Structure 1
Amino acid sequence: MANSTHPVDEILPAGKLFLYGLQHVLAMYAGAVAVPLIIAAAAGLTKEQTAFLINADLFTCGIATLIQTLGIWKLGIRLPVIQGVTFAAVTPMVMMAKSGGMTLIFGSVIIAGLFTFLIAPFFSKLIRFFPPVVTGSVITVIGVSLLPVGVNWAAGGVGNPQYGSMTFLGVAAIVLVSILLINKYFTGFMANIAVLLGLVIGMVVAMPLGLVNFSGVGTAAWIGIDTPFFYGIPTFDFGAILSMILVMLVVMVESTGDFLAIGEMVGKHVGEEDLTRGLRADGFATMLGGAFNAFPYTAFAQNVGLVGLTGIKSRFVVATSGLILVAMGLFPKVATVIASLPNAVLGGAGIAMFGIVAANGIKTLSKVDFDKKPHNLFIVAISIGIGLIPIVAPDFFKMFPAWSQTIVHSGITLGSLTAIILNAFFNGGHAETDVQKDLAANAGMNG
């Protein structure tokens, strides 16, 4: 009798769960710690306070990932979605850190999380505005928007005085070529951990070149407990709360795109109820973040590419990533070792992963009818074009009012909103296209 378990719900052997899960953690770690580092600098925190903030973030990130992948009550989309701090919140949080300190940030984060939790069932009804012409455009924009991150990593990281040196580019190239060679000459388990092996190879190559810095590992504590309200009781300000709610509306649009992208990759139809559970989990994790000295959480687009690259669809793999992140939050010494991965090594893997996201968007667009509905070309062309504006011209919207900056600086949000509006204009925002019904039927058969 054939196994009827959907690949998303497949529980793999413990060893594979750990290695695949670790691969996801390594892929998202740089992005996960970037936000607390930026906020700590803006708030003028000490080195010890900054370390605590990073560990608190990793711990809460792990809890959020476990909720999203395993599901609790009516929370969690139960797909291989890893949670991380959204970069959309950085600008307003930096302003809050300078004006009111960490307690002002956490107060606004808690209220914005509650808002997201409550509005999720209503927001999820917008799924009818996400047919393949929209989802394909959004997924493509997500991938292309992330590529500059991978490229900058490969060159050594923005701000690095040696940015673009042949040493950095060479290490990144070795990682990328290693991933490609492993995918070509190996199958099964080895091919599935190609990114992890590429990172290990890159680390080995980078060490004698002096690119790996293990400073801080010896002095880092073995155990660190994340205590609620470590920086003080949250404070609440209407303006700060309003700006964070705006951020969460942006996050909900981005999360919807990520959820649909993951659904496409793993062959599981994401319906209104699924989307509600996923967005509720975002809201709950954000509330949790405010209480446990962390920030707003969302689906991490970086890891969407890893799912597509490896073909590993099990949500229990990413749940294992959640456990690893919790452990890293509780054991600062482990987190410090992982943090030693050089940007150039991450860059080689990033180019492959983020490119895969864009390629999956193009794959989704291949299912769209461009012959009988030629205006679909305009939907794709304009949404991708506008989605790329913040990347190709960062100052394009600098004259726009301050309240709009969170929206206009997010290419993913701009591309998503443009695709939704143009689809509603040209196609009437119908609940489902024939292609969507076919996808849903196929997903049901696969499940």
Structure 2
Amino acid sequence: MIGSLLVANRGEIAVRVIRTCAELGIRSVVVHSSADRDSAAVRLADEAVQIGPPAAKDSYLDIPAVIEAARGRGVEAIHPGYGFLSENADFAEICEAEGIIFVGPPAKVMAQLGDKSSARSLMAGAGLPLLPGSRDPLGAADAAELAGQIGYPVIIKAVAGGGGRGMSVVRSAAEFPRAWTQTRASAQAVFGDGRLYVERYLDSARHVEIQVLADQHGSVVHLGARDCSLQRRHQKLVEESPAPLLPPELIAEMGAAAVRGAEAAGYVGAGTFEFLVDEDRRFFFMEVNCRLQVEHPVTEAVTGLDLVREQLRVASGEPLGFTQDDVRLTGAAIECRVNAEDPVREFAPAPGLLDECRLPAGPFTRVDTHAFPGYRVPALYDSLLAKVIVWAPDRDAAIARMRRALAEVEVRGAGVATTAEFLHEVLDHPRFRAAEHDTTFIETL
């Protein structure tokens, strides 16, 4: 097992990784910006290294600074968490060159799957169903012609996109040129890569993902499905496992497809295959996330597995130690992302000093957070304040438990607001309770 690890992240995911390190007897080192010098992660880690000023580009995204911190503290491995450098193939390659274990897939695999065009081609070859569209990047004229052939609506996507960014839905040929130009400019600015492709857009679909684990010895398993359909502007708000109302045979088929895709890519570590499921219960491959997902706790709740522990075991060269037949899903789990945002002001970020911060507790209730009374929520980073996760024997009981938990959230401070009350109302909506929601649900409220 790895003996020392640097956590190249911040917030709740840094705290999450540090806690598993403590349980495994792994020495933990966390890097941080000057804005996070008093953070929960800094307090919990065995060591902390300040690597730059508040701006992420000068700290958490500064590869030389992260590598220097790792070398200076003599760590064996780096865990990138999610966001920041977690899906940066160049960073993974530099780690490999420096003799530092990168907790994630090999750099070549990450590069191939991070490029949406090559990922689509690879998955098509593995027999995964794709929505009609282009497998290769296109120019504006060819893309417009293909969109007409596919039929509107279509979605324009950045080849290097991810995290709900770098995409535009287009509903008519008249809208296409402007949308193409804007998406290309956005992709170039955000990802440094303006290449785009086009595919059919499903107005009414469920967003379902399959968690996979793969070791360095060729074993791959899936851990069931998560439904992530409750989204706002392509950003997930609520996730649950198992995916409600989907037949077990469909989930098994999606799981087998994800395993085939992982095997075709030579995947190692924890990863997520994302699919869209239409009204006829046909599923289509979207992308692979080569990292731990924000919503991984719901899978942990129904499987009893610690996914960070499994990541570290795999990175240490250990075999999975279990097969697909050993995977059992029990009960139902739901996660709600409580963000420091104000729903009354179109979900505008609402950072500030937390005078009061009381988060839920109780039976089968887990809270992953980095917040505490006296913590100043910074304006520079992601607005996620806490993840509330509940488990219950069935979905109805899980919804009731989550609504109870969200009602216990008390976060106060000048200018601070959260999404807890909004999420409480969403979970009580008849469409959600009946599992009749899709990716457009939040927009229709």
TM-score range, shorter chain: under 0.3
TM-score with structure 1 length normalisation? 0.22
More strand by share: 2
